[in-house]
């Protein structure tokens, strides 16, 4: 298999990449002097992908909520009755998997026996094994997991924010689904989803650490089996620009009220523009609410917020959200203070010194991430699944101006796009 390479001088890193004959994309960043190697095998299949056109067909179907997460759980069970984790443990590797709104990924890190572990990763993800019995068993296990999250205040406050924000988009549905929805999952559903979304052309492999690109490409060539592939067609419902409701409240086992203030971004992007949008939203959030901001310091001193206050950016092709979360005895006042801070920047603009300082610090934090093989691997995988090249970030970063931030500020950070979700302690 022929591969290409790309040197990123700003990062002093080299990316090696190739596309297998099945359509699988492979990316490798060798890290000289590192003892650890990290590999992640991902598919563009998450909780929002519940309506799609099955591979080889022309009519869309809708599957139960939570099927991507359910499928992830079942992939570890092997036809011989063993568990895929067993072999990783034998070689001293740390293995895991996760399902997000948009992706499902299988991964491991190791300091030795990379070849054996990497071959195993590629092998077991190609061999689904679903039976009526093991599906029924898993339904009980995941039902318990769902009930556990229903009692998690931070989980509730975040998903309530999404439910208040989105009218139709499935991002508002719990990643694991509901107890009722997973009860409808059967072999036919799992194999239909697997055959469509786990086709190699819809997947990527990223390896970062103490290995050679030739080793990675050779193992892929020997291990990945020919399969039907093709373009996956996911179908998303029309989503109005308006939010569903401005305020939502619940109660849970928390010691102090917790809140999430969310802003709905209706200006969705793709490719390099998606990467730029995420950077712009991050910079705006840091300037307005970062640890050096007037908003943070004034409200921290008065006790309105504490050190749990944090921001989060979720920027995907199908949805985009900026949120601010933390603890406070008066969440409504926090929202009021935040809107005042936003309005100040909307009318006064960003100071050049502040913009430059925050922007430089942001780029510095991006470079530091390359000290972690896991962080780099995860960023590469998420990016390439979204057709976004993370190694282009320095160019994207240089293209961001104060004027572009003001434009995004006016588009996203408005009262009409804002939702407040609060979870209060039980009586």
User: pLDDT digits over 190-232, tens only?
Assistant: 999 999 999 999 999 999 999 999 999 999 999 999 887 788 9
Long-range contacts of 284-288 (CB under 8 A, 24+ apart): 284/322, 284/405, 284/408, 284/409, 284/413, 285/311, 285/313, 285/322, 285/324, 286/311, 286/358, 286/361, 286/362, 287/345, 287/350, 287/354, 287/355, 287/358, 287/405, 288/338, 288/341, 288/342, 288/345, 288/413
Q: Give me the CATH code for the 4-234 domain, please.
A: 3.30.830.10
Q: Give the DSSP per-residue string, 30-61.
A: E-TT-S-EEEEEEES--TT--EEE-TT-SS-E
Strand partners, 18: 26
Q: Would the pLDDT of 415 be above 80?
A: yes
pTM for the full model? Answer: 0.94
Binning pLDDT at 50, 70 and 90, where does residue 257 land? very high
Say if CB 124 and CB 291 are below 8 A apart: no
Q: Would the pLDDT of 81 be above 80?
A: no
Catalytic site includes residue 352: no
Alpha-carbon distance of 171 to 366, in angstroms, equals: 27
User: pLDDT digits over 93-145, tens only?
Assistant: 999 999 999 999 999 999 999 999 999 999 999 999 999 999 999 999 999 99
User: pLDDT digits over 17-42, tens only?
Assistant: 999 999 999 999 999 999 999 999 99
- Residue 332: what pLDDT? 98
Pick the CATH number of 247-425 from 3.40.50.720, 3.30.830.10, 3.40.50.300, 3.40.630.10: 3.30.830.10
The residues of the chain that CATH labels 3.30.830.10 are: 4-234, 247-425
DSSP collapsed to 3 states, 329-343: CCHHHHHHHHHHHHH
Binning pLDDT at 50, 70 and 90, where does residue 157 land? very high
Catalytic residue among 13, 57, 60, 72: 72
Q: Give the DSSP per-residue string, 353-406.
A: HHHHHHHHHHHHHHHHGGG-HHHHHHHHHHHHHTT--GGGHHHHHHT--HHHHH
């Amino acid at each position: 298999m022929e591969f290409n390479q790309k040197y990123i001088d700003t990062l002093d890193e080299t990316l090696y990449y190739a596309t297998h004959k099945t359509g699988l994309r492979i990316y490798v960043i060798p890290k000289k002097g590192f003892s650890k190697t990290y590999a992640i095998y991902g598919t563009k299949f998450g909780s929002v992908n519940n309506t799609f056109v099955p591979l080889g067909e022309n009519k869309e179907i809708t599957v139960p909520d939570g099927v991507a997460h359910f499928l992830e759980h079942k992939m570890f069970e092997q036809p011989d009755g063993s568990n895929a984790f067993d072999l990783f443990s034998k070689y001293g590797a740390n293995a895991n998997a996760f399902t997000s709104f948009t992706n499902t990924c299988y991964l491991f890190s190791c300091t030795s026996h990379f070849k054996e572990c990497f071959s195993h990763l590629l092998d077991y993800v190609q061999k689904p094994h679903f039976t009526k019995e093991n599906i029924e068993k898993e339904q009980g296990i995941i039902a318990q997991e769902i009930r556990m999250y229903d009692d998690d205040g931070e989980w509730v406050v975040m998903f309530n924010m999404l439910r208040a924000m989105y009218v139709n988009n499935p991002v508002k549905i719990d990643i694991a689904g509901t107890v009722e929805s997973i009860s409808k999952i059967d072999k036919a559903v799992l194999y239909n989803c697997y055959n469509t979304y786990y086709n190699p052309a819809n997947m990527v492999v990223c390896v970062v650490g103490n290995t050679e690109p030739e080793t990675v490409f050779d193992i892929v060539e020997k291990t990945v089996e020919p399969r039907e592939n093709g373009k996956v067609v996911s179908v998303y419902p029309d989503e109005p620009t308006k939010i569903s409701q401005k305020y939502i409240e619940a109660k849970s086992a928390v010691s102090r009220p917790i809140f999430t203030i969310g802003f709905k971004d209706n200006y969705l992007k793709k490719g390099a523009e998606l990467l730029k949008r995420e950077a712009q939203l991050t910079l705006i959030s840091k300037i307005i609410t970062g640890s050096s901001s007037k908003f943070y310091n004034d409200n921290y001193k008065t006790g309105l917020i504490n050190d749990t206050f944090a921001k989060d950016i979720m920027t995907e092709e199908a949805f985009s959200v900026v949120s601010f979360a933390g603890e406070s005895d008066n969440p409504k006042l926090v929202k009021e203070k935040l809107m005042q801070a936003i309005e100040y920047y909307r009318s006064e603009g960003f100071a050049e010194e502040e913009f430059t300082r925050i922007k430089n610090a942001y780029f510095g934090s991006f470079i530091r991430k390359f000290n972690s093989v896991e962080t780099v691997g995860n960023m590469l995988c998420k990016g390439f699944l979204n057709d976004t090249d993370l190694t282009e970030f320095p160019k994207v970063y240089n293209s961001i101006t104060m004027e572009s931030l003001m434009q995004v500020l006016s588009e996203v950070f408005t009262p009409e796009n804002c939702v407040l979700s609060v979870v209060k302690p039980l009586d």
